[in-house]
A and B are shown apart, each in its own frame.
Chain A
Amino acid sequence: NAGVTQTPKFQVLKTGQSMTLQCAQDMNHEYMSWYRQDPGMGLRLIHYSVGAGITDQGEVPNGYNVSRSTTEDFPLRLLSAAPSQTSVYFCAIRGQGAGTEAFFGQGTRLTVV
């Protein structure tokens, strides 16, 4: 039972390249979210999903795309990488309802040069 699995752990991209960060869960939780963490800024919500086929934008969605075709997977796509997207990315899952805790993946450290 791995919980939340993120791949890759590290990635270096050139400006303008695209890539997909993978997030997979085995806990059957409805809510899945992507956050980015920059020094001194905590975690900021990029996109989230409340169930398969349903996604919405968070606080900082520009430059990112998501889809959720299954309960288990929630990939994050960078369409055309920019240096400002250099960050650590975390995927999080939560069960349905307000009183549930989040479980996080171990993060993807992305550098855009």
Chain B
Amino acid sequence: SQQGEEDPQALSIQEGENATMNCSYKTSINNLQWYRQNSGRGLVHLILIRSNEREKHSGRLRVTLDTSKKSSSLLITASRAADTASYFCASIPMDSSYKLIFGSGTRLLVRP
């Protein structure tokens, strides 16, 4: 399978806490993207990090990338109940930039 892995599979935290999700992928990449999915609806793009970047920020989101370990992490700071969703990483392979290969996802529950 080309799919990457994410952990944890599920995460439950209190509002105001930070949430960290990890992603591993299998091939050399051009970039890695994170997406959010609410209740089985379509995915929405959150942030993209290129293979030559190590860290990127966007609002309350912080993404890191370690290409030597083929892994990435997404940190959501000061979480809110509205952050409750599933989060997926998606890698774009170096040799096939038209593909987007998804990880298995992390279900995040933020308790009010």
Indicate, yes or no, whether A interacts with B.
Answer: yes
User: For the complex, is B40 an interface residue (Cβ under 8 Å from A)?
Assistant: yes
- Report if A102-B45 is in contact (Cβ < 8 Å); known contacts: A42-B102, A42-B104, A88-B40: yes
Contact with A along B41-62 (1 / 0, CB 8 A): 1111100101000000000000
Whole-angstrom CA separation of A58 from B30 in the bound complex: 19
Contact (Cβ within 8 A) A40 B40: no
Contact A31 B98 (CB under 8 A): yes
Contact A90 B43 (CB under 8 A): yes
Interface size on A, as a range, is: 20 to 34
**A59 / chain B contacts, CB cutoff of 8 Å:** 1-3
Inter-chain contacts of A4 with B (CB < 8 A)? 42
Output the least CB separation between A90 and chain B (Å). 6
B85 close to A (CB within 8 Å): no
> Once bound together, how far apart are the Cα atoms of A39 and B89, in whole Å?
16
Check: A35 CB closer than 8 A to any chain B CB.
yes
Chief secondary structure at chain A's binding surface: strand
* Residues in chain B near residue A31, CB distance under 8 A: 98
Partner of A41 from B3, B33, B97 at Cβ < 8 Å? B3
Per-position binary interface string of chain A over residues 1-33, scored 1 when its CB falls under 8 Å from any chain B CB and 0 otherwise: 000100000000000000000000000000101
B102 touches A40 (CB 8 A): no
Q: Is the CB of A98 within 8 A of B92?
A: yes
Distance in angstroms from A32 CB to nearest chain B CB is 10
Known A40-B104, A90-B43, A107-B40; contact A101-B99, beta-carbon cutoff 8 A: no
- Which of chain B's residues have a CB closer than 8 A to the CB of A98? 30-31, 92, 97
Q: Within the assembled complex, what's the spacing in Å between the Cα atoms of A109 and B76?
A: 30
Given contacts A43-B88, A59-B2, A90-B42, contact A101 B102 (CB under 8 A): no
- Give every chain B residue within 8 A of A105 (Cβ-Cβ): 42
Q: Contact between A107 and B2 (Cβ–Cβ < 8 Å)?
A: no
Are A102's CB and B104's CB within 8 A? no
Within 79-113 of A, Cβ neighbours of B (below 8 Å) are at: 88, 90, 92, 94, 97-99, 101-107, 109
